[in-house]
Amino acid sequence: MAKKKEKYSPMMTKYLELKKDYQDAIVFYRLGDFYEMFFDDAITASKELNLALTGKNAGVKERVPMCGVPFHSATTYIEDLVKKGHKVVIVEQLEDPKQAKGLVERGVVQIVTPGTIMDLKLNEKVNHFIGALGIFDFCYTLAYADISTGEFYCMNLEKDERVLRNQIRTLDLKELVVNDDFADDSLMVTHYDNEHMSDRYKKLFEEVNDLKEIKVAVNLLNYMLETQKRDLDYIQPLAEVRQSDYVTMDPSTKKSLELTKSLSGDKYGSLLWLLDHTHSAMGGRMLKNWIENPLLDQKQIMQRLDMVEIFVNNFIERETIINMIKEVYDLEKLASRIAFGNVNARDLKWIASSLKIIPEIRHQLYALNDPVLNQLAEQLVDLSPITQIIDDAIIDNPPLVIKEGNIIKQGYSAELDEYRDLKANGQKWLTEFEEKEKERTGISKLKIGYNRVFGYYIEITKSQLNMVKDEFQYTRKQSLSNAERFITPELKEMEDKILSAQDRIVSLEYEIFSQVRQYIKGYVHQMQDVAKVVARLDCYTALAALAAKNGYMRPTFNDDHRIDIVDGRHPVVEEVISRQNYIANDCHLDAKANIMLITGPNMGGKSTYMRQVVLTAIMAQIGSFVPAKKANLPIFDQIFTRIGASDDLVSGQSTFMVEMLEANNALRYATENSLIIFDEIGRGTATYDGMALAQGIIEYIAHHIHALTLFSTHYHELTLMNENEGVKNVHASADVSHDTIKFLYKIQAGATGESYGINVAKLAKLPDEVINSANVILQSLLNNSQVSETLHQVKKQTVVVQKESEVEKALAAIDPMQLSPIDALSTLIELKKLLPE
């Protein structure tokens, strides 16, 4: 006889059927008050979340591995799993277990992925972006959104994987949705392809004309809809981002300049740390975006500077608005929660208290009587209907849970008040009933009690049990070790009334809360618009307050390819050390002398000086005042840096290779309108190699790129290049009198003849024998070296550069994106004719 195949229980069979569609995810399966996980999901989750792994009887011989988390605290567990790279499928009970006939119906209500975490903390000053990538013949197209705020963007990128990866890192995408093969181990890549556009969401794409961008954005939106299993009406209209509107900086440049994080990985010590005195989450996110994307359009820069200047000059109004913004919660995320459906009653009270501040902010803006601020004030629309309904309906200190009652005010709903009265009177009736029964039966220790399993009961201890008589009509309900519990027809009747009232109160309160939420949902996009205005005001006032406190000045701009900074300071270093002790420095470069060659000792301030020039330019182009007595600058299109030494161990690249790759990046892509910062290029290889490469790089910049460049070096032989080569020599000064070295941190004109390396070593207290020996060796090397003369002679030689061919000239003038297939063929034939025979 064949062995009978084991069958799983009906519940587990249902689970396994559902799990088939989500093999790549951990399923949170709702059973009562817990989300349970089974089989491999349970084993994985127990390890990742440090949960106890148990087992469940499921109709087969062996117990099924199982672990679980309470449903009311599941959010934290889900976030932990997702941050570790897992997808989580949430399966809910779709019907009331009390009313279910047989198995409770369950279904997937949400899929949480690294890019679609919705229940993020409020008041975080960072975005949480998910992206979608489209790969086309001549470009990459990237769409990205923050599902927690509703922001939605798209951009076209040149067909260069370096550019694409730089943008992905800059946005810090948590997940990338693709419909073609694309590998990136640094983030979750999800393969998905659905370009169908629902009529319901067509309005989101009305402001974008590029079909590629719309195609990729639709794919991203569909992915979010499919994972979230609900309408996403709060998603904001798709906004097109043009790279040509912003300064180009690769991730290594942003890292070395410590724009949003210090080299240690913390916010402290970064430019963001210095500038971020915003008082709202919306403002903090916006300012971070400004810092990462300085503007190229001078008109837009000047508009921001105008706003900052107004608030610099109007202290009382500025501080008044700042104090108001402090009272505004994260309206952007709260608006999203309203539409998404995960808002709670406490969130509603925060929305109401925030919106009550908006008319006061509007009044202050009008008081400043500026046309641009008046326009902003007009965008702060009246949202008093929201505050009114929240104030009328929701109690002042509601609980976080919205399905257990105690959130709706007395007097808001007549029906609810009626049930509440019934419940209150029921409690009074129970108290009176207990006293009446004591008197009627003579049982002094009789008491009325309640539990969720048995309902209301009369409890009598064993010592007085013999006093119970048949005439009392007591029916035994439960036996305890020291007491018996009874019910009477009268108590049973009141129990039905009270419990039905309580159930109806809880369900009715949730119905009313849902109605309030639905009403506010109609104002979500207006709330988002108001949030953006508050964010801009937050940025303006924060920058103005810092400028006033630190004595920053408004920068000006020129078209003369000229840097003219007087008494410039490094903004972050100045903040960290005593401001009175900071040594300010000038910086002057122009088209005739566009390269500044900086020599001087280690620790003398060369790197700090170069960084402060770059940070001044970045601050100016985000619309901030700058740390200088005067700053007249060009608008830089790109910024390139090579600062500091680091190996790239993951890809097996040495410090010198990383240095050369970053130098090559600047030499290939910089224009005359770019800013280049090179800190001791060539130090990672042999002295003569490094010196030759350094001079070659300087000459290439001077002859071909003409970008404004700051170049620090210990190769003093390079200072022989004169201003006819476009090179200007300066040095970080030091006092070496009395056999010691003192750093003066002052950049002065002219070159220095030595690096003072041995003096610095002595300052570090190396052994005297080492110092003395090094001095002897150094003197011998200096007496025998002819490197300076060699470089001087090489410099005078003419470098022959191959002229651009006719074919190259023709190719440079062609825009392939504008050619039809027949035009492309015709162009190719013409190019062929230009080739030499």
Rounded Cα distance, 566 and 570, in Å: 13
Q: Residue 202 has which token pair?
A: 């067509």
Of the candidates 532, 529, 530, 548, which has an alpha carbon nearest to the alpha carbon of residue 310?
Answer: 548
Task: List, in sequence order, the alpha helices (H) in 522-670.
Answer: 524-550, 571-576, 606-622, 655-669
CA 376 to each of CA 367, 368, 385, 668: distance values in angstroms, whole numbers, following the listed order: 12, 12, 21, 43
Give the chain's count of helices (H) and strands (E). Answer: 27, 26
CA 561 to each of CA 185, 213, 592, 632, 705: distance values in angstroms, whole numbers, following the listed order: 42, 35, 9, 10, 13
Rounded Cα distance, 352 and 310, in Å: 30
**Do residues 657 and 268 lie in contact, with contact meaning Cβ atoms separated by under 8 Å?**
no
Q: Residue 161 has which token pair?
A: 């994987």
Q: Residue 355 has which token pair?
A: 């919106």
Sign of the four-CA dihedral 787, 789, 792, 793: negative
β-bridge mates for residue 727, sequence order? 595
Residue type, 704: H
**Do residues 262 and 305 lie in contact, with contact meaning Cβ atoms separated by under 8 Å?**
no
Q: Residue 223 has which token pair?
A: 């992915």
CA 587 to each of CA 353, 593, 638, 710: distance values in angstroms, whole numbers, following the listed order: 49, 12, 19, 10
Q: Which residue has the tokens 């440090």?
A: 50
Residue 607 annotated in ligand binding: yes
Residue 603 annotated in ligand binding: yes
Residue 605 annotated in ligand binding: yes
Helix axes 298-313, 315-325, angle to 10 degrees: 100
Q: Residue 774 has which token pair?
A: 């090094």
Query: What does the angle CA 359 – CA 365 – CA 369 come to, to the nearest 5 degrees?
Result: 135
Q: Residue 205 has which token pair?
A: 């794409």
Tell me if residue 178 falls in helix, strand or coil: strand
CA 746 to each of CA 435, 599, 602: distance values in angstroms, whole numbers, following the listed order: 92, 12, 13
**Do residues 520 and 504 lie in contact, with contact meaning Cβ atoms separated by under 8 Å?**
no
**Do residues 280 and 330 lie in contact, with contact meaning Cβ atoms separated by under 8 Å?**
yes
Task: List, in sequence order, the alpha helices (H) in 595-686.
Answer: 606-622, 655-669
Q: How far is C-alpha 668 from the geometric centre of its chain's CA atoms?
A: 31
Of the candidates 328, 347, 246, which has an alpha carbon nearest to the alpha carbon of residue 282?
Answer: 328
Would you list the DSSP string of 348-396? Answer: HHHHHHHHTTHHHHHHHHHHH--HHHHHHHHHS---HHHHHHHHHHB-S
**Do residues 667 and 700 lie in contact, with contact meaning Cβ atoms separated by under 8 Å?**
yes
Residue 118 annotated in ligand binding: no
Count of positions (residues) in the chain: 837
Residue 349 annotated in ligand binding: no
Residue 627 annotated in ligand binding: no
Rounded Cα distance, 531 and 281, in Å: 10
Q: Which residues are annotated as a binding site?
A: 600-607
Q: Which residues are annotated as a binding site for ATP?
A: 600-607
